[in-house]
């Protein structure tokens, strides 16, 4: 067990998936989260290490690049597992906080070294189950929503919900918009995100719709674009503006009457929903995944189960107070609030009596 002085001055080793640098150049929600949490923990006086893509530029006190850049490749998985083991030996962390593959921690899973595994997507129940049994009290899982935590807890282990967050300084609240403000769809252009439903709702209600996001290059994704998106562009106020960075995203969402992303899958969290609310922009989506945890129906936007309900929600947008949307994010989804929760979690796991961890 660490002394009180040790708990107050912790050494935390972070890991991120190897495909994208930390922070990301454009897309990479998890890598963006890791960078912000790392900086926040460092600013509180703790030492931080990072194991991530070789081109990462996050200001960790110690950096260890992954040798393998494909988290689904077996050989890269073996190489990265040994790389993390070596990083633990060199950095001597008090806590390992993983946002990458749980399997990478296998060499020290059964040791008393405190470990946190954070999930931003549906966990693999079998992997969670054996890890929880092997690690015991030395491992805590976090889910980015209650939806994810409930699913993971069914497989075993100790779970805590700590939401994803939005960088408040990146997004400015626009308390009012023009009477003819457009609707905005912002996400990947694939069926599960519901761009086709957004188009149908915009056409049925006579509203302009700006579609932003990257196209999916798979055969299925391209077929979806050709048959259900492209034929509507340039007609009835439906426009495609392409991928957007944070500056463009702030401008796009700030001018919107609402962000409409009628998802057709169990969204683990959906950072874009909180980004919209940070701009004061109401959200219209479906009752799937974590959406009901983020959007309070009739307060921050509307949760609509079908096309008719979506059209009714569009007609009711004047009922939403945009300043309250921003306040929702400040209270629950700010980086400061989430970093505080992780720091407290580190303190809690380090307060569990345990012998000093030895890594082979």
- Burial of 245 (C-beta count, 10 Å sphere; 0-12/13-18/19+): exposed
Edge-to-edge strands, sheet with 139-143: 62-65, 47-52, 11-16, 95-99, 115-119, 139-143, 158-161
Domain 168-332 carries which CATH code?
Answer: 3.40.50.2000
Secondary structure (3-state) at 61 = coil
pLDDT at 59: 97
Please calculate the CA angle 277-172-278 and round it to the nearest 5 degrees. 15
pLDDT band at 189 (very low <50, low <70, confident <90, very high): very high
Per-residue pLDDT averaged across 54-65, rounded?
Answer: 98
Strands (E), 66-172: 95-99, 115-119, 139-143, 158-161
- Whether the domain at 4-164+335-350 and the domain at 168-332 fall into the same CATH topology: yes
With bands split at pLDDT 50, 70 and 90, how would you rate the model's confidence at 352?
low
* Model pLDDT for residues 102-152, shown as the tens digit of each residue: 999 999 999 999 999 999 999 999 999 999 999 999 999 999 999 999 999
User: Which of 4-18, 22-36, 154-168 is most confident?
Assistant: 154-168
Q: What is the pTM of this model?
A: 0.88
DSSP state, 179?
T
Confidence of residue 265 (pLDDT cuts 50, 70, 90): very high
Q: Is the pLDDT of residue 3 over 80?
A: no
Residue range 311-339, pLDDT digits in tens = 999 999 999 999 999 999 999 999 999 99
**Average pLDDT score over residue span 42-61:** 98
Percent of the chain at pLDDT exceeding 70: 95
Check residue 7 and give its pLDDT: 65
Specify the CATH architecture of the domain 4-164+335-350.
3-Layer(aba) Sandwich (3.40)
- The domain spans of the chain are 4-164+335-350, 168-332
């Amino acid at each position: 067990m660490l002394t009180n002085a040790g708990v107050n001055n912790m050494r935390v080793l972070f890991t991120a998936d190897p495909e994208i640098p930390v922070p990301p150049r454009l897309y990479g929600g998890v890598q963006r989260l890791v960078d912000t949490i790392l900086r926040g923990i460092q600013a509180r006086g703790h030492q931080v290490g990072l194991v991530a893509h070789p081109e990462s530029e996050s200001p960790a006190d110690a950096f260890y690049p992954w040798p393998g850049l494909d988290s689904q490749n077996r050989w890269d998985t073996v190489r990265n597992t040994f790389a993390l083991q070596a990083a633990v030996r060199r950095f001597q962390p008090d806590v390992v906080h993983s946002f990458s593959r749980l399997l990478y921690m296998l060499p020290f899973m059964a040791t008393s070294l405190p470990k946190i595994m954070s999930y931003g997507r549906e966990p693999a129940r079998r992997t969670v189950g054996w890890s929880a049994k092997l690690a015991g009290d030395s491992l805590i899982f976090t889910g980015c929503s209650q939806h994810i935590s409930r699913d993971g807890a069914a497989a075993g282990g100790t779970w805590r919900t700590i939401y994803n967050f939005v960088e408040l300084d990146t997004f400015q609240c626009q308390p009012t918009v023009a009477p003819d403000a457009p609707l905005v769809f912002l996400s990947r252009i694939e069926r599960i995100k519901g761009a086709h439903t957004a188009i149908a709702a915009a056409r049925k209600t006579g509203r302009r719709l700006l579609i932003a996001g990257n196209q999916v290059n798979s055969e299925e994704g391209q077929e979806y674009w050709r048959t259900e998106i492209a034929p509507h562009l340039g007609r009835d106020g439906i426009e495609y503006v392409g991928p957007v960075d944070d500056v463009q995203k702030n401008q796009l969402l700030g001018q919107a009457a609402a962000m409409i992303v009628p998802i057709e899958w169990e969204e683990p969290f959906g950072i874009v929903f909180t980004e919209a609310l940070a701009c004061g922009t109401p959200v219209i989506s479906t009752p799937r995944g974590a959406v009901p945890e983020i959007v309070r129906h009739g307060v921050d936007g509307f949760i609509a189960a079908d096309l008719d309900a979506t059209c009714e929600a569009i007609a009711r947008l004047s009922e939403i107070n945009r300043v309250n949307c921003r306040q929702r994010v400040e209270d629950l989804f700010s980086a400061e609030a989430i970093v505080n929760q992780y720091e407290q979690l580190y303190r809690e796991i380090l307060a569990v009596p345990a012998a000093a961890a030895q890594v082979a």
